[in-house]
Amino acid sequence: MSEYILIIEDDSALASGLCRALTLKERTVENCSKIMEARRITEERLPDMIILDVNLPDGSGYDFLAEFREKSDTPVILLTANDMEADIVAGLELGADDYITKPFSLAVLRARVNAQLRKKQCRQHQAETYMGKYRFYFDKMKFFIGDRTVELSKTEQKLLRILTDNEGITVSRNELVDRIWTDGAEYVDENALSVTVKRLRDKLEAHKYIKTVYGVGYMWVKNHE
């Protein structure tokens, strides 16, 4: 299947150069110049990668990145003239996978794009999980019991990913709390994890699969019949 890269850049000359440099026989590259256009395009088709300018005519690329990260983990490379450390840190903390300051070498950009696409392919392979009657596609945020779709919250998705990645291994409550609630909150209600586990069990009908190891934590039971 052909790769699809979306460039969100309002400098038409730069955007044209990027499109020419990155287009391959099995890769489509498209450009748009505004956040509003980018929203419409990404709703219609999720790109394999986004190259995003920070300063756009109708808003901040940082704001678009934060919004986009709510629905996808597609690799995003930021382009900007700002090379201040604070700007770089802000972009990476919002979920950017790489950050390139203008002016830049097209050869370096191509290498970084290819590196991110290889990582995505690796993650995608790891993100497709088949467990008996379940099919979990973590990168697409789609979850199935047989042919039936199940809607999970972001917190429930994080919990499910940790448990299934550690199938047959007990994960402690402390580790789960640390890894799920990573937003810097100083205090997490001790009941939050129990509530999330119950909701996940109920939604997935997984009471036989998600085992409580009393006094320790939880486990996704291995090879449960």
What is the tens place of the pLDDT at every residue in 98-149? 988 888 888 888 898 988 888 777 665 555 677 888 989 887 788 999 989 9
Distance CA 97, CA 77 (A): 6
Q: 57 or 72, which is more confident? A: 57
What pLDDT, on a 0 to 100 scale, did the predictor assign at position 126?
Answer: 56
Place of tokens 């009908």: 205
Q: What percent of the chain has pLDDT over 90?
A: 45
Q: What is the pLDDT of residues 62-84, one digit of tens each?
A: 999 999 988 888 899 998 877 77
Judged against a pLDDT cut of 70, whether residue 182 lies above it is answered with no
pLDDT number for residue 217: 93
Task: Tell me the average pLDDT across 88-103.
Answer: 87
Which residues are CB-contacts of 31 (< 8 A; sequence separation ≥ 6)? Answer: 6, 7, 8, 9, 15, 16, 18, 19
Burial-class residue 138 by CB neighbours within 10 Å (0-12, 13-18, 19+).
buried
CA-to-CA separations, 27 to 18, 113, 116, 132, 223, in angstroms, rounded: 13, 12, 14, 35, 39
**Is residue 24 classed as helix, strand or coil in its secondary structure?**
strand
Q: How many residues appear in the chain? A: 225
Query: CA-to-CA distance for 78 and 113, rounded, in angstroms?
Result: 11
